Structure 1
Amino acid sequence: MKRSILICDDEKNIRSGLALAMELEGYETLSAEDGQQAWTLLNKESVDLVITDLRMPKVSGEELLKKISSAYPRLPVIILTGHGTIETAVEAMRDGAIDFFTKPVDLDRLTLVVKKALSTTDLYAEHEQLKREVEQLKARNRYDRIIGKSQKMVALMDTVSQVAPTKASVLITGESGVGKELVADAIHGLSNRSNGPFIKVHCAALTSSLLESELFGHEKGSFTGAVKDKRGRFELADGGTIFLDEIGEIDLATQVKLLRVLQEKQFERVGGEKPITVDVRIVCATNRNLPQEIEKGNFREDLYYRLNVVHLEVPPLRERKDDIPLLMTSFLAQFSQENNRSIEAFSAQAKRALLSYDWPGNIRELRNCIESAVVLARTNVIELEDLPMHISKAQNTSNVSLEVGITLAEAEKQLIISTLAQCGGNKTKAAQMLDIGRKTLHRKLQEYNIDEA
């Protein structure tokens, strides 16, 4: 669908000249000779951008701009004037204009500003649509902290919903940063134990002796520093769920005691003799390959089979790229609010970079990236340069692959298309990069029937 531009100026020649220039760029145009007529058209017709003079009879450009900013705050307005001063420009920008041109107008620059403004409008619309999609997903899912519509994530959450109400032990595997702990949260939250305790233990953060005491507790005087009885995490989790993160890090001695808990629902505190019986559902997670650890003698095979009653594999982010726009949108809203920033969207280049990157650190890396970008953003749109350098640098590196045997004309066409894409559609910049004149570039775009939109 063609975009519609409203041109408002009391000089007929300027109106018709600007309309012709915009129509040559593929836009539809509406014309008004004063602010009053323009306001009437705005409320009747679909308009995507306004170009208006400042000095006009009846309703001036300043008054029109204030009305538009109040009623249609997302509608971009470009100001024209033959009486340009810095003070006037600053006042117009403060009232909501996106740019300011003095007459005679530089049509090349105006065309670029119009295209960029309409692209930004599209970004806002796309971002709003993604926000609605995130909210719909949260409303549809029983657990709203995991965001994903990709086939792999839908299948995973279907299995979580099926497994959660049971008593079965669950082993969650996947790379670091994929969200294994969130899956464990979902299992507990959707289970019949959701009103009971949910105790988390990060096994890799504790030494062997400390881990045993943390899991099973200890009696007073059982070791130096044990000045009183202490209940372990299994006792605290009675009637609920215990989540053992990085289960592959625990030593063989602790594995034996853990196996007994699974088999008999009993254990003794460190230094104690009285058996303690608990009703605890065990959910574990690891980024290690446990079958390989069994072969190396680092993990008990019998414990593995007890833990691995249900196996959930959380896919890495590079295998669920359909979910990246939703995750970006969710993180943007979260960190904008936390940091009191009004960041409203991602630029097309920033979005391409985020989608093309492989995310070795998975969701954790994406989350940190968006938080950093929100803090460093210079405008209300996250640009490519606001992203971490290793992501933006990778996006800036582009190559053109040409098949042997194609014609010179086809090779030239592919080079022009790739260069335009690299320049974000900026024809002046593309022409400079190709070392040809802008008119030559326009002629070749027409010659090769290249879509300039």
Structure 2
Amino acid sequence: MKRILVIDESEVVRETLALILGREFSVVKRLLGTAGFSLADTGADVDLMILGVNPGLRSEAGKLLRFAAQVPCAVLFLVDSRSATKLIEERETVGCLAKPFNPYELKQKVGTLLARTAVLPRAQPLPVNRNNQLASRYLTFPFLTRTAACLVHRFASTRLPVLISGEIGCGQERVIRGMRATAEDAVPYFFVNAAEIDGDYLAEKHAQLSWQSGHAASFFAVEDIDKLPVSGQSALLNFIQELDSAPLNCRVLATSKVDLLERVYQGDFLEGLYYRIATLTLKLPPLRDRRDDIPAIVDWFAHHYSHLLELDEVTFSVSAKEQLCNYLWFGNLNEMETVVARTLALRRKSKIEAADLVFDFSDAIGPQQLSDFERLISAEESELATAGGVRSWRSPRKSPTDAPSQVNGNGKGAELKVLIHELAHEMKNPMVTIKTFAQLLGDRYQDENFRERFQEVVGGDIERMDDLLEVMIEFADFSQPNVNRVSLEERLRSSVDEVGSECAKRQAFVRWQGNEFGQPILADEGQLAYILKNVLLAILSQVKMGSEVNIDVAGQGTAVISYSREGARMASITQYLGSPSEGTGESILPLRLMLAKQLVERNGGGMAIDSSDSEKEILRMEFPIA
């Protein structure tokens, strides 16, 4: 005999249905919302559920249909009027009947639904994610601190409620999924957003939990419980109390992005609810308090996404990790994961340098821009003298008076485009950082650590942009060279003294080779000073920490500077465009070197860079001899 479960608040409706259907079917009656409503109590599977819908639930038609799709039997909804039947779409195992109804109409609906279920496969319980190994990795170091990882494993072995708090992006929701993955069996899992909670919503969830009561346990997780309105707080407290009093074996977990106890003291959060959900508490620290863990976290994300993107194992250079450690992660783990995944997807390299990092997706170059850049490279190929691993921007030695005009010709127009790209890149990252700080200033100004970090980072970025603008303005003020006899070595030593503070920051020291002063060169003394200073500053921005810079001016009119690089060129535009020239020995100069190169050529000289050695770079400048 087919079994029918009747659930309605009205005893009259329940008894009437039992009398009409009782001769043909086995009818079980339950009161909606009580602890007695459980599929397990029927002693066998139910073939049809008849559910009375309150007038207040008519606006929740979508939720009713989702509920019907999750239960393992056909469902017939009883609504308060015929107009309400139009709100619920009838399906193979879902029907709708308006009150008052006649017995013949009721039997017709019941017979149709039972006939359909006889030829359709039985619906399965709520889908369960069985990829436990993937989810449980979020309970380990380095995703969590070692202390938090130890605590969460202890919490996972209990049945007590857990409140997991932390700033935005600290991984609260993933920790909950990881805790559920540690369960011995695949169990039902309900993840709800606090903003959706009201009495009707919780009644629906209570019904779903009742249908799943045959399982050993279930999880009910509330996301962003701090956003729960006062009315929803009372409803949730009553819901949890019902779960405790009913044999549903359901564990309650919750996440929060604020200090809920402080909300309790302020009168904004229900004290009884707080102590119900905060039996066990786990606070996840922000990344700014985990700076020592950041290199390990980066490697952890890189390992995961290198496999996901079908790449060889990807590593991050020392300079890249240093930049990641110095970034203030407003989105914490979520933001870092996004940056790592985005960088790997766009760069597709086995080693990521600092210049490769993509913090803002707007840094990525679209197909049209890439095509423009490829045409730009092709236009400049005639000017690039490449021999083996030597990337050369070298012009034939000529008199400064023979130097071409810098404002005419297609080649110079192309160089201007590259110059604009470089300047935009140099300015982009500091501006993004300052904009982000400005957006958070109102909310976090009272945070002393935030104010100190704001002053440090924003002050440094503004100083950097100001310095770049000064470099550009000074370059723009130069006219045709006023050539004089100048001692290259004497001018170079003076420039080394001028950048002494930058040498100290990088803990680098200069080693001079050759003791004889060479023959004087012909150059504009002011422009030569600008060239040498910016060449040295560009080198010091890339030199390996604590290494030496070798300078040799023994050749006639030639200066050779060699040094060990920390990583790839920090400002190479090809790194950001993904140009095909990358890896073939050709690239565009960083901004300071690009401007210096322009002035070297304007003074009749040339510049070449040999990067054939993967760790060492040699820069060579030549000037006309007096």
The normalised TM-score by structure 2 is 0.37
Question: Which protein has the larger Cα radius of gyration, Structure 1 or Structure 2?
Answer: 2
Query: Higher relative contact order by CA 8 Å / sep ≥ 6: 1 or 2?
Result: 1
